Amino acid sequence: MVEEAKKILYSAVQPTNNLTIGNYVGAIRNFVALQNDYDCFFAIANMHAITVRQNPAELRQRTLSLLALYLACGINPEKCVIYVQSHVPAHAELCWTLNTFTYVGEMERMTQFKDKSARHADNINMGLMDYPVLMAADILLYQTDYVPVGLDQRQHVEIARDIAQRFNNVYSPTFKVPEAMFMKVGAKINDLLDPSKKMSKSSENVNGSVFLSDDKDTVIRKFKRAVTDSEACIRYDSENKRGVSNLLSVYSAFTGKSLEEAEREFAGKGYGDFKLAVGEAVAEKLAPIQKKQAELFADKEYLNAVLRSGAERAAKAANRTLAKVYKKIGFYQI
């Protein structure tokens, strides 16, 4: 019996700022599980990163640091393709072609473009507007079946689908039309100081976000400052007790205990003890990841070997799609 080919899954993360425990719970931890069931392509999206000005030395350092983090968390380069976006020129090449199938009005309506334009009013560049087309190229190059995203990224997958269908309708089926995969997350991790919004690696107040690079003392300090309420009762109620509910979600995600088990564990206890316990649970889980990441980061030769292999494997798949595109649109090839 011929074994059925695995579906293709694609994800890209920018090597900017530090990833948070929300990124770990909502994405990276799921990637580790998904790599066994899908053919996964995980890109370090440095081309997307430069739509906002970056310090060149920091960008290089963060690129390797993100790779080391992925490996430390359990993503296996033997099972999946891990590569740096700029190492595969086909991304930029397909982006240019797809620009001719994308309308300016569509890009102006993109939520991320409007948000980033407001935050970076002194640098509203074309890359910022063209970001979703490059993302469409990222996805479509690999004939992707599924793109794991949060609800805030749904719009980018939808525009990739629109562009793929538009091209296919003109030139016959060329791209697989991808689907968004909304992760089943046991916990949505929100900002510790403003639990009405999700924890972000680009938050203006770093005390609201717990980063995967934070040491134990920093983790404990941030949780001690977390917003709760005046009721002094530890129960899950996402509408009326957002701060406490957020902390219960974090505790559940990092201990494997259900929300009900966590509620029973802290019944009758004060918020001080509760916040300390949540912080310690997170710090305990992060410590071995941080240790492994530091060891990997020190081995540049190994990291470069992983990236060279990843780039070769990614380019092979990407160039196959790009060649089909170039043939269909009439580019003369030698």
* pLDDT for 173: 95
Q: Which amino acid is residue 194, in one-letter code?
A: D
Average pLDDT, the chain: 91
Q: What is the CATH number of the domain that holds 33?
A: 3.40.50.620
| Confidence bin at 176 (pLDDT 50/70/90) | very high
The answer to whether residue 164 sits within a structural domain is yes
Tens digit of pLDDT for each residue in 112-137?
Answer: 666 666 666 676 778 778 889 999 99
Are 63 and 155 found together in one domain? yes
The answer to whether residue 192 sits within a structural domain is no
Tens digit of pLDDT for each residue in 232-261?
Answer: 899 998 888 999 999 999 999 999 999 999
Domain span including residue 23:
8-182+300-329
Edge to edge, the sheet with strand 39-44 lists: 81-84, 39-44, 8-13, 146-149, 179-182
Are 279 and 165 found together in one domain? no
Are 142 and 257 found together in one domain? no
Strands 81-84 and 146-149 turn out to be unpaired
Residue 186 has pLDDT above 80, yes or no: no
Looking up tokens 């440095």, which residue turns up? 46
Tens digit of pLDDT for each residue in 260-275?
Answer: 999 999 988 999 999 9
**Region 30-37 average pLDDT:** 92
Going 274 to 219 to 188 to 146, the CA torsion angle's sign is negative
Residue 106 has pLDDT above 80, yes or no: no
Q: How far apart are CA 267 and CA 179, in angstroms?
A: 42
Residue 78 has pLDDT above 60, yes or no: yes
Residue 1 has pLDDT above 70, yes or no: no
* Mean pLDDT comparison of 26-30, 58-62, 186-190, highest-scoring range: 58-62
Are 64 and 168 found together in one domain? yes
Catalytic residues: 116, 198, 201
Are 262 and 319 found together in one domain? no
Q: What is the CATH number of the domain that holds 284?
A: 1.10.240.10
- In this structure, the number of other CB atoms found within 10 A of the CB of residue 40 comes to 24
Q: How far apart are CA 318 and CA 325, in angstroms?
A: 11
- In this structure, the number of other CB atoms found within 10 A of the CB of residue 297 comes to 17
Residue 330 has pLDDT above 70, yes or no: yes
The answer to whether residue 260 sits within a structural domain is yes
Are 165 and 210 found together in one domain? no
DSSP states of 118-147: HHTTT---HHHHHHHHHHHHHHHHTT-SEE
Are 237 and 309 found together in one domain? no
Classify burial at 283, counting beta carbons within 10 Å of its beta carbon; exposed 0-12, middle 13-18, buried 19 or more: buried
Higher pLDDT, 110 or 65: 65
Are 288 and 304 found together in one domain? no
Say how many domains are in the chain: 2
The answer to whether residue 125 sits within a structural domain is yes
The answer to whether residue 197 sits within a structural domain is no
Are 68 and 146 found together in one domain? yes
The answer to whether residue 1 sits within a structural domain is no
* pLDDT for 210: 95
The answer to whether residue 115 sits within a structural domain is yes
| Confidence bin at 101 (pLDDT 50/70/90) | very high
Are 162 and 63 found together in one domain? yes
Residue 179 and residue 194 in contact, taking contact as beta carbons nearer than 8 Å? no
| Total residue count of the chain as it appears in this document | 334
Are 164 and 277 found together in one domain? no
The answer to whether residue 195 sits within a structural domain is no
Residue 175 has pLDDT above 60, yes or no: yes
* pLDDT for 18: 83
| Among candidate residues 259, 96, 99, the one with its CA nearest the CA of residue 188 | 259
* pLDDT for 185: 52
* pLDDT for 65: 95
Tens digit of pLDDT for each residue in 6-28?
Answer: 999 999 999 987 899 998 998 89
* pLDDT for 113: 65
Are 108 and 51 found together in one domain? yes
